[in-house]
Structure 1
Amino acid sequence: MVGVLVVRHRPITNLVELVVAVGAPFLSLTAGAFLLVITVVTRRSVLALMAVCVLVVPLWAQASWYYVPRPVDVGQHVEIRVFSSNLRLGRAEAPAFVALVKEHADVVTVSELTPAAIERFTDAGIGEHFPYSLLAPSGGAGGIGLWSRYPVTAVDSGNPRDYTMAAARVQIPKVQTAPLIASLHVTSPVASRRDTVAQWQIGVSAVKAALSAFALTAGSGAVIVAGDFNSTPDMRQFRDLATNGYRDAVEQTGAGFAPTFPSRTWHPPLLTIDHILTRNAAASSIRTVYIPGSDHRALLGTISIPVNPPAL
C-alpha cells in the first residue's frame, strides 16, 4: 500500500501508475481486509498493527476527500443548478434527458455532443426550456456544448489540445458579475482501449493553463467548470487542478463516494471521473444521475453564486 500512497502523490506518467491510482480506493480495502484476516488466523499483534496502518492511512486520504465537508461562505448569493453529462457519442436518450434537465437544471454542460444528438435534443424540446446555448458538435467524442436558461456570451477557451471546451459568461438575474461557466472533456488516458496516457497528460496540463486564464478573466467573479475530466481524485494531476481557488464540489460538500463510470454494466459505476469545479462560488450539494443511453452517470450540483463579488 506504500506504492498506492506514492502513486497518489506523484504525477501519473504511465499506464501502470494510472491503474494503481484508479484502483486506490479498492486496493486499500482489499489489502487491509486480507491482513485483518491473517491477523485473526495467526493472532499476531505486529500483523494487526500493519493491518490498521494499511487500512487507516489510505482510507483517510479517501475519506477526507469524499466525506469531510469543507463548506465555503460566499455571502449573499443566488443558487443555480448545474447538470453535467457525457452523452456517449451522442447516444443519450433525448426525451429522458430533456425531461430530467427541464425539472432539475438551470445550466446544462455536455460532452461527446454530435450533430445528430443536437437534432434529437431539439426535437425533444430542449430549446423550449434552455433557449440559450453554445454548441460545438463533432463526430465521435470531440463535441462539446452547454445549454442555459439565461443569456450566454462565448468566452475564448484558448487553443485546446487533447481536451475540448465550451466556455461562456452566463447572465444570471441579480448577479452583478456574470459567472464564467465551462463544459469540459479531457482526452481519456486509455482512448479506444489504447495507452494514451501521454495525450491525457498534455490535456490535463493544458486544462490547468485554461483554468488559470479563466481565473484572470473572471477576476472576483465565479467560475464553474463541469464535465468529464477522465481523472479521479487519486490522480495527482487532477488534484493539482483544484488549486488557485478552484474546489471540487464533492470535496466541498462531503457528499460521499459517487462514481460516475461505467454506468452501462451489470455492476455499479466504479470510477469518479466526472467533476464540477468552482472558484469564487460554493457547491452546496452534488449527486449523480442515471442517464439512459449514456455510459456515464451525470452530475447535478447546486452552486451558490455571489450576488456582488468584491473587487480585486
Structure 2
Amino acid sequence: MAQQAYVTGTDNGDSGPERQAPGLRRLKDRLNGFAAGWRGDPRIWRRGVVVAVLAVVLALVMLLHAQIPNRIGNLGSLTETFLPWLGLFVPVLLLVALLRRSATALIAVLIPAIVWLNLFGGQLTDKTGGGGDLTVATHNVNADNADPSGTARDVAASGADVVALEELTASAVPTYEKALASTYRYHSVQGTVGLWSKYPLTGVQPVNIELGWIRAMRATVRTPAGQVAVYVAHLPSVRVKMEAGFTARQRDKSANALGEAIAHEPIGKVVLLGDLNGTMNDRALNAVTAQMRSTQGASGSGMGFSWPASFPMARIDQIMVKGIEPVSSWTLPETGSDHLPVAARVRVDTSTS
C-alpha cells in the first residue's frame, strides 16, 4: 500500500509537504543529540580546566598589557606592538573547549573575547567620513628601494596635498625631487626625512630627537584653511639582541624628545607624519600619543596595518593630529618599499564642522 503524504496549506495558498526537508531534519537531530550528550555528561564542568585557565591568562595579558614589565627584553612593548593578534587565540581556545565538551572552558573563553572586542572592536567598523580640507600622506620609502622614481609616482598619485617621506638616502633624493616636482611646488629635505607640499612651507627646521643625526623635521604649511605645523619623524627601529632580547632604548629616548618638541609647538594645529616604529598601544610612544589622536583610530576602517608590506601585521607608520579633526584614514597600495604608505583626510578649519 502506497504511503500517503499529507499536505497543509501555505501562506500563499499553495500546498507543501508537512514534514521538514531531510537536510534540516538531520541538522536538527544532530544538534539535539549534541545538546542531549552535554546535558547527560556529569563531567562537563570538571573538564577543560587548563583551557579555562589559558583563557583567563589571555584576557589578563590583553587587559593588563601596560603592567607587563619592559625590564626583560622590552617584553611589554613587544606585546603591545602585536596586541591585536592575541585575538587569534580566542577561536583556537573555543574550538578546544568544544572538542573537550567543557562548559567551564566555554564560559571562560567568553572573557578574552569580550576584552578583545572592548579594545579593538571599534576598529572593525568603518568610521570614514566625508569632507575635509587637507589630505596628507606618509611613506617610509626604504633606503634599499630599487625603484624610487616609481615609488614617488605612486605616492603622488594618491592625491595628497602634503607628503612626508622617510629613510631617504643622499643618492636617491634627486630622484624623488625630480619625480615629485610637477605635483609639489614646495619641498624640503632634512637629513633622511623630507616634506613635499602643494602649499608654501615656512619655518622649516630639523627637530633634535637625540640621535646625533637628522631624522625629524618640522615646517609650517600655509594651507587655504589656515596654518598647520607639520612634523615628520623616523624614530629608530627596535632591535633584537642576544644579550637583551627585544630592545628599543634609543627609540624610546627619541620618542620622548619628539613628544617634548610637539608639546612646545606654538601653532595649535599640528600633524605628525612618519614611521614611529611603534603602534598606538606601545607605551614607549606615550609622550606623543598622550597629546595626539591617530587618524586611523578616529576615522579609519579596519586596523590599517602598514608593515611589513608583503603581509602587514602592525601599524607603525602613523598619522596623528592635534587641534585638527580627522575625517578619513587609509593605507595606500604597495610600492617598492617594505612599508605601505598611509594617508588621511583631515579638517583644518574646524569652525565649519
For the aligned pair, the TM-score class normalised by the smaller chain equals 0.7 to 0.9
User: Which residue number in structure 2 is paired with residue 23 of structure 1?
Assistant: 82
Number of the residue aligned with 1:230: 277
Query: How many residue pairs get matched?
Result: 288
> Given the alignment of the two structures, is residue 289 of structure 1 paired with residue 332 of structure 2, yes or no?
yes
Equivalences for residues 68-87 of structure 1 within 5 A: 69=127, 79-87=133-141
Q: Provide the rounded CA distance (Å) in 1 between the counterparts of 2:103 and 2:132.
A: 55
Structure 2 counterpart of 1:300, which letter?
A: A
Deviation at 1:78, TM superposition (A): 5.7
Q: Which has the larger radius of gyration?
A: 2
Distance 1:258 1:9, change over 3 A: farther
User: By how many angstroms is 1:93 displaced?
Assistant: 2.5
After superposition, residues 124-273 of structure 1 pair within 5 angstroms as: 124=179, 126-137=180-191, 143-156=192-205, 158-162=207-211, 164-173=215-224, 175=225, 177-190=226-239, 195-214=246-265, 217-219=266-268, 222-238=269-285, 241-244=288-291, 246-263=292-309, 265=310, 268-273=311-316
Amino acid at match of 2:220: R
Q: Which amino acid aligns with 1:287?
A: W
TM-score (ref. length: structure 1): 0.82
Residue 25 to residue 40, structure 1, CA distance change in 2 (3 Å)? same
CA contact (8 A) 1:82 1:107 kept: yes
Is 2:135 the partner of 1:88? no
Paired amino acid for 1:117? A
**Long gaps (5+) in structure 1:** 138-142
The verdict on how the C-alpha distance between 1:281 and 1:90 changes in structure 2, with shifts beyond 3 A counting, is farther
1:276 alignment counterpart: 319
Report what 1:140 is aligned to.
none
More off after superposition, 283-292 vs 46-55: 283-292
Give the TM-score of the pair, scaled to structure 2. Answer: 0.73
Code of the residue aligned with 1:205 in structure 2: it is N
Check 1:153–1:284 CA distance in 2 against 1; reply closer, same or farther (3 A cut).
same
**Change in CA separation of 1:260 and 1:78 when aligned onto 2, cut-off 3 Å:** closer
Displacement of 1:127 in angstroms is 1.4
Mark the runs of 5 or more structure 2 residues left unpaired by the alignment.
1-57
**In structure 2, C-alpha distance between the alignment counterparts of 1:10 and 1:157, rounded to whole Å:** 35
The separation in 1 between residues aligned to 2:254 and 2:338, in whole angstroms, is 21
Distance in 1 (CA, whole Å) between partners of 2:149 and 2:241 is 28
Tell me the residue number matched to 2:176.
121
2:301 corresponds to which letter in structure 1? A
Counterpart AA for 1:29? L
The 3 A distance-change label for structure 1 pair 92 and 301 is: farther
Letter in 2 for 1:253: S
Whether contact under 8 Å (1:167, 1:180) holds in the other structure is yes
Could you tell me which residue of structure 1 aligns to residue 6 of structure 2? none
Query: In the superposition, relative to structure 1, how do residues 12 and 210 fare at CA in structure 2: closer, same or farther (>3 Å)?
Result: farther
Decide whether aligned partners of structure 1 residues 68 and 155 sit closer, same or farther in structure 2, where only a CA change above 3 A counts: same
Distance in 1, matches of 2:326 and 2:69, equals: 27
Cα offset for 1:98?
3.2
* Conservation of the 8 A alpha-carbon contact between 2:81 and 2:282: yes
Q: Flag the 1:303–1:287 CA change in 2: closer, same or farther, 3 A.
A: same
- Say whether the 8 Å CA contact 2:186–2:201 is kept in structure 1: yes
Task: State the distance in 1 between where 2:173 and 2:137 align.
Answer: 17
2:113 corresponds in structure 1 to: 55
Mapped contact 2:273–2:319 kept (Cα < 8 A): yes
How big is each residue's C-alpha offset from its partner over 1:226-249, in whole Å with a ceiling of 9 and x where there is no partner?
Answer: 1111111231233552333x2100
Q: Name the CA distance, whole Å, in 1 between partners of 2:164 and 2:85.
A: 30
Cα deviation for residue 205 of structure 1 reads 1.5
Q: Verify the 8 A CA contact 2:77 2:283 in the aligned structure 1.
A: no
Write the distance in 2 (CA, Å) between the matches of 1:250 and 1:128.
29
Distance 1:58 1:92, change over 3 A: farther
Percent of aligned pairs with the same amino acid:
22
The residue type equivalent to 2:238 in the other structure is P
**d(CA) in 2 for partners of 1:240, 1:42:** 46
TM-align CA RMSD: 2.8
